[in-house]
Amino acid sequence: MREIAQQHAVHALRKLVTLIDSKNERVALSAAQTVLDRAHGKVAQAMNLKGPEGGLTVKIVRFREEGGHAE
C-alpha cells in the first residue's frame, strides 16, 4: 500500500500546490498548511502538563498474560 501511495506522491503534491491559489479560502488555507507541514513539519503544540499537585503524573501498569494480576 505504501509503495502505491509513494508512486502518486509527486502528483498529489503538485495538486496541493495548485490548490493554494484556489478562490475558496478554506481550500487554499488547507492546501498551504499541508504543504508547509510536509516541508517543515507540523508546529509544536503547547500542552499544560501540571496536575493537581503541580507536576506531571505518570502511572505505568504492566499486565501479565492469561489471568495474571497487574503489577
Instruction: Judge whether residue 2 has pLDDT over 70.
Output: yes
Q: Which of 27, 31, 47 is nearest to 39 (CA)?
A: 31
HSE, CB side, 13 Å, CA atoms: give it for residue 47: 7
pLDDT tens, position by position, 11-65: 999 999 999 999 999 999 999 999 998 888 877 766 666 666 666 667 777 776 6
Q: What is the DSSP string of 15-63?
A: HHHHHTT-SSHHHHHHHHHHHHHHHH-PPPPP-----TTSS--------
pLDDT at 51: 62
pLDDT at 67: 58
